[in-house]
Structure 1
Amino acid sequence: MSDLIDRLLDGLPQDAVLTDPDVTRGYAQDMAGFCDSGTPAAVVFPETVAQVQHVLRTATALRVPVVPQGARTGLSGGANAASGWLVLSLLRMNRILEIDPVNRIAVVEPGVVNAELSRVVARHGLNYPPDPSSWESCTIGGNIGTGSGGLCCVKYGTTSEYVLGLDVVLADGRLLTTGRRTAKGVAGYDLTRLFVGSEGTLGVVVRAVLALRPSPPPQLVLAAEFASTGDAGAAVCAVMEAGWTPSLMELMDTTTVRAVNALARMGLPDSTAALLLVGFDSTDPTGDLAAVAELCRAAGATDVVPAADSAESELLLEARRLALPALDSLGTTMIDDVAVPRSRLAAMLDGTAAIAAEYDLTIGVVAHAGDGNTHPVVVFDAADPDQAARARASFDAIMELGLDLGGTITGEHGVGLLKKEWLARELGPVGLEMQRRLKAAFDPDNLLNPGKLF
């Protein structure tokens, strides 16, 4: 232990190395439940690429596992550390290094907060589309590590589509540069995308070149009520089949709607089985919403309410943003992240309701309906061992349901510790073997975030 600390301090300032166990324990985990963690040997806060290289060279020399961390807003245990490990926090590497409006790129360090980047590029008439629910606190490095998404994915895609190039410090301290700054580029294997979603198991991202888009027009949103999840699912399919590309398409089930009403008294229709929000940031959002409203009515919507202006649209979106806090207010929560084909969305909702009944638990579902990414939220009393056990079992049942419907165990939260057993099932033996070989090629001593993914 003393050798580790002494070597770290050879290349880091005194205040960049924390060793008090009462303090380091606070950095041992992210926001996921049911995931083990311990007391890290130290937490380090490098501010430069050279300092990150020093940390990893030191860890490799002493064979100490390293857990890269951002804001620890993750929901899969991907940032958890075991006792004696080294936590490498990137929070102090938080500079926006460059905004290039001509080439529509931003160059940033990993500790930059997503919302801060969005605000800065907006001053240049540009937009960084990925917008996770935790965008006011999550970091770009964490977004890259998990391949995160958000409400806008149905039109604009996920983080992986905006990462053009990376600087990555490997486990042995070498600096690897991947990708490009150009609009196009296919030279060699796409190592950039390999690192996106790798959860810190292959290297530590210290710089990212990100693609930007022009700022879109103001968004208008409609709310459509449905008496059944089947009708809501049919509406989603009808909108997509007709060729529309909304800027968002979000769904809340009746459990979630009632929780939002209880928390914020927003007057949402809590008798509805599903509430669908559809938005457009096009040149004629009013006309687009009118056309989609007709599709919703044809699918069985009992009421459709289009927003008259941006202010009303924001009120509707605020209800969606309150979904997770509202469910959190009901008890301890486990947030699942199962994505299914859009055509199976209703089956996913109905199957989740059946699981809630089977395990006698409250499970609310909020979904990025436009891309089939559902977030079933299991609510339980953590002080009740029986409820906790049923909650974990229901979580697994939901993942099994997602796979049975042709989906995936994670659309944007990552695997971490929470879903590693399920990743093996989804990938199959050959896929798992190839992923392990890639891990060994980049991290032969298995020191970078070991035990995550597989």
Structure 2
Amino acid sequence: MSRDFLEALQAAGPQVLTDPDAVRSAATDRSGTPVDTLPLAVVRTRSVDEVRSVLRLAHEHRVPVVPRGGGSGVAGGAVATPGCLVLDLAPMRRILELDPLDEVAVVEPGVITADLDAAAREHGLMYAPDPASAAISTLGGNIATNAGGMRCVKYGVTREAVLGLDVVLADGRLLRTGRRTLKGVAGLDLTSLFVGSEGTLGVVVGAAVRLRPVPRATVTAAAAFTDVRDAAAACAAIARERLQPSLLELLDRPTLEVIDRAQGTDLAARGGALVIAQADGVAAVAEIEEIAQVLGKEASWVEHAVDDASSERLLAARRMALPSIERFGRALIEDICVPRSRLAEAFEGIAAIATRTGVDIYSFAHAGDGNLHPIISFDAAQVPDEVVEAADAIFGLALDLGGTVTGEHGIGLLKREWLAREAGADSLETQAALKRALDPHHLLNPGKVL
């Protein structure tokens, strides 16, 4: 980094860190992707003006910039590239406005997802998207990856909650997209263009997001099945009956066994697969009874929750799945989505891949929308070849079943090859043309997605 550029950065106001330890800690994300060359510096910004100054200087000096929030991504989207600046947006963590009547919050990108939800609940509202990383992930990162979660089957992913954005473009210009109203179709939908773009088109520095009323009641049911095929069929039957759970999760036998091993439970003794469903709203009790009746037709065990404590107990198995897996080794956290009608084939195909490659794969799913998380466990400093082989086979399976290689985690650095296979040449060229129009020097998060 030239002395002139460094001095200009420091004069712009943000905190500039060049200490190797500080730089190294911000060089990768939860994917654990190794970094061969450390970034030039980490720049911690506290305001929109500081972000604009940093990007304007980077544009003038042709320095690549990797935006970063909480570092909780698992696709390598925040991994530093050689010669880059890491733009740390975490200090921008203010909830600027929360309007209980309009049910809208205006936030900075570093706001922790769970903190926004907690603030909304003080007014009888909630932030509906609920990624598993809500306690550590930022709203800016959620927007960058179009994050999902267990409530998405009813409330949708992050895109459905974002009304408008403030985005700093590669040359430092500030672009405002969308609106604060719940409806609006004026012009092209630039907000949706930036949601899920993983920091490759611009840097989100503010967002107006939709809040929703906290449901009057939330009730839960769980059911055990002989195998995942029966469990997946029961989940499909719920859709066929036009029932609307707010949460519908499916865990396979290896996942139940590892939870039992880690937590001292006996889930696997009840069956080879577990389905957990929730209903919420004024009709929640009646709805969960209908859902439980559908599940019970093929289940070997069914239980209703009668209060919040018992609901949380039933849901605990799903919440403990990943921590239980990580207790016994490293985890490659994958993310595919298939049509709901092919969920059983996906589970069975993943089990066959585990047998063929000899690796341990634990699979659970947001069954209501076909989003599976096959977690590949291994015990090694570097990802073994057979783990890479298994992951590639899982992505291929998703495409063969008419699905996608990512439902909510994003492409990042790790799935670029598979995006090309899924999207095709014409789609990739269209996306590349949009990238060139907004970032002609390819400085924003280079090497990711496109």
Tell me the CA shift for residue 308 of structure 1.
1.9
Letter in 1 for 2:27: A
Instruction: State how far apart, in whole Å, the 2-side matches of 1:353 and 1:4 are.
Output: 53
Match of 2:88 in 1: 89
Identify which of 390, 394, 397 aligns with 1:398.
394
Match of 2:277 in 1: 278
| Aligned residues of 1:95 and 1:108 also touching (Cα < 8 A) | yes
Tell me the CA shift for residue 302 of structure 1.
0.9
Pairing 1:414-433 to 2, within 5 Å after superposition: 414-433=410-429
Match of 1:374 in 2: 372
| Aligned residues of 2:217 and 2:282 also touching (Cα < 8 A) | no
- After TM superposition, the score normalised by the length of structure 1 is 0.97
Instruction: State how far apart, in whole Å, the 1-side matches of 2:117 and 2:266 are.
Output: 31
Tell me the CA shift for residue 183 of structure 1.
1.6
Instruction: State how far apart, in whole Å, the 2-side matches of 1:200 and 1:255 are.
Output: 36
Identify which of 430, 437, 442 aligns with 1:434.
430
Instruction: State how far apart, in whole Å, the 1-side matches of 2:209 and 2:36 are.
Output: 32
Letter in 2 for 1:19: T
Letter in 2 for 1:263: A
Match of 1:42 in 2: 41
Identify unmatched segments of 5+ residues in structure 2: none
Match of 1:314 in 2: 312
| Aligned residues of 1:21 and 1:40 also touching (Cα < 8 A) | no
Instruction: State how far apart, in whole Å, the 2-side matches of 1:237 and 1:147 are.
Output: 25
| Aligned residues of 1:25 and 1:38 also touching (Cα < 8 A) | no
Match of 2:11 in 1: 10
User: Residues 2-53 of structure 1, C-alpha deviation per residue, up to 9 Å, x if partnerless?
Assistant: 232111011115xx11001222011001111456453111101111111000
Match of 2:442 in 1: 446
- After TM superposition, the score normalised by the length of structure 2 is 0.98
Moved more, 111-120 or 307-316: 307-316
Pairing 1:6-405 to 2, within 5 Å after superposition: 6-13=7-14, 16-34=15-33, 36=35, 38-270=37-269, 272-298=271-297, 300-383=298-381, 388-405=384-401
User: Residues 78-106 of structure 1, C-alpha deviation per residue, up to 9 Å, x if partnerless?
Assistant: 00012321000101100000011121110
| Aligned residues of 1:37 and 1:80 also touching (Cα < 8 A) | no
Instruction: State how far apart, in whole Å, the 2-side matches of 1:325 and 1:335 are.
Output: 12
| Aligned residues of 2:33 and 2:79 also touching (Cα < 8 A) | no
Identify unmatched segments of 5+ residues in structure 1: none
User: Residues 325-375 of structure 1, C-alpha deviation per residue, up to 9 Å, x if partnerless?
Assistant: 111112111111000011100000000000000001110001101100000
Instruction: State how far apart, in whole Å, the 1-side matches of 2:120 and 2:281 are.
Output: 20
Letter in 1 for 2:361: I
- How many residue pairs align between the two structures? 449
Alpha carbons of 1:66 and 1:102: their partners in 2 closer, same or farther (altered >3 Å)? same
Tell me the CA shift for residue 125 of structure 1.
1.2
- Residue aligned with 1:377, SS: strand
Tell me the CA shift for residue 265 of structure 1.
1.9
Tell me the CA shift for residue 215 of structure 1.
1.1
Moved more, 146-155 or 320-329: 320-329
| Aligned residues of 2:81 and 2:446 also touching (Cα < 8 A) | no
Instruction: State how far apart, in whole Å, the 1-side matches of 2:408 and 2:175 are.
Output: 25
Question: Alignment RMSD, CA only?
Answer: 1.2
